[in-house]
Amino acid sequence: MKTVIVRPERCVGCWQCRLACAVEHSRAKNLVGALFEEIKPKPRLRLYPGRLHWAFPNKCRHCDPAPCQAVCIAGAISKDPVRGTTDIDPARCINCAMCAMACPFGVLTYAATFAAPERRAVALKCDQCPDREAAGRLPACVEACKVGALTYGEVEDAQVDKGRALAQAVFASYQAAAEAVPGLPETISLWRKLT
């Protein structure tokens, strides 16, 4: 299973990934069209000013098991058994923010989307660009990243290469911890790795 691997130490904060992500999640899927859409498309990854680095890209790690899925009271979050992604169904999401309460990475945004026009806001996050994947293309953010901060690769490779891919190491440690103890404590070891 392939996933987006984040290497924050390489990020220069150019915001190209955010722009590409917003465009990919517009109805038109191109910049000009996206600019004029009634519901403004939102990027599903964030860039923060980092502590030691210029910027820190933050996005959904598609955890397995996914804490957001366990707390979703609307049955809107599921795991895709083939792609390995954690998916939110905007037609079921009720904007209750239980997922934000559970997400250890703080990656959720609540806003309108053309995919559920009847809802004022729904939970939005990385879906790893399913349309692009189906067409054999890279996720939009990875394609836009010119400095190697966002790459696309096999989960296993990334797990072996923990030192290089900090974010992926976090993801891996989460999985390993989840095997050992369920419930809250598993996240404790996650944070040890984080900091």
Q: How far apart are CA 163 and CA 157, in angstroms?
A: 12
Output 35 or 101, the one with its CB closest to another protein. Answer: 101
- Which one of residues 70, 154, 156, 157 is an interface residue with another protein (CB under 8 A)? 70
Fill in the amino acid letter for 169: A
* Integer CA distances (angstroms), 104 to 23, 113, 134, in order: 26, 24, 29
Number of chain positions touching ligand FAD (CB under 6 A): 2
Residues 69-108 that bind ligand FAD (CB under 6 A): 73, 96
Q: How far is the CB of 154 from another protein (least distance, A)?
A: 22
Q: How far is the CB of 66 from another protein (least distance, A)?
A: 12
Residue 5 DSSP label: E
Fill in the amino acid letter for 184: L
Position 181 contacts another protein (CB under 8 A): yes
Letters for 80-109 (x = contact with another protein by CB under 8 A, - = none) are -----------xx-xxxxx-xxxxxxx-xx
| Cis amide leading into 65 (omega within 30) | yes
Residue 2 DSSP label: E
Q: How many other C-beta atoms lie within 10 A of the C-beta of residue 146?
A: 11
Two tokens, residue 133: 């994947």
From the list ligand FAD, another protein, none, partner contacted by residue 176 (C-beta under 5 to 8 A by kind): none
Number of chain positions touching another protein (CB under 8 A): 50
Q: How far is the CB of 114 from another protein (least distance, A)?
A: 18
Fill in the amino acid letter for 86: T
Position 39 contacts another protein (CB under 8 A): no
> By the criterion CB under 6 A, which residues form the site for ligand FAD?
73, 96
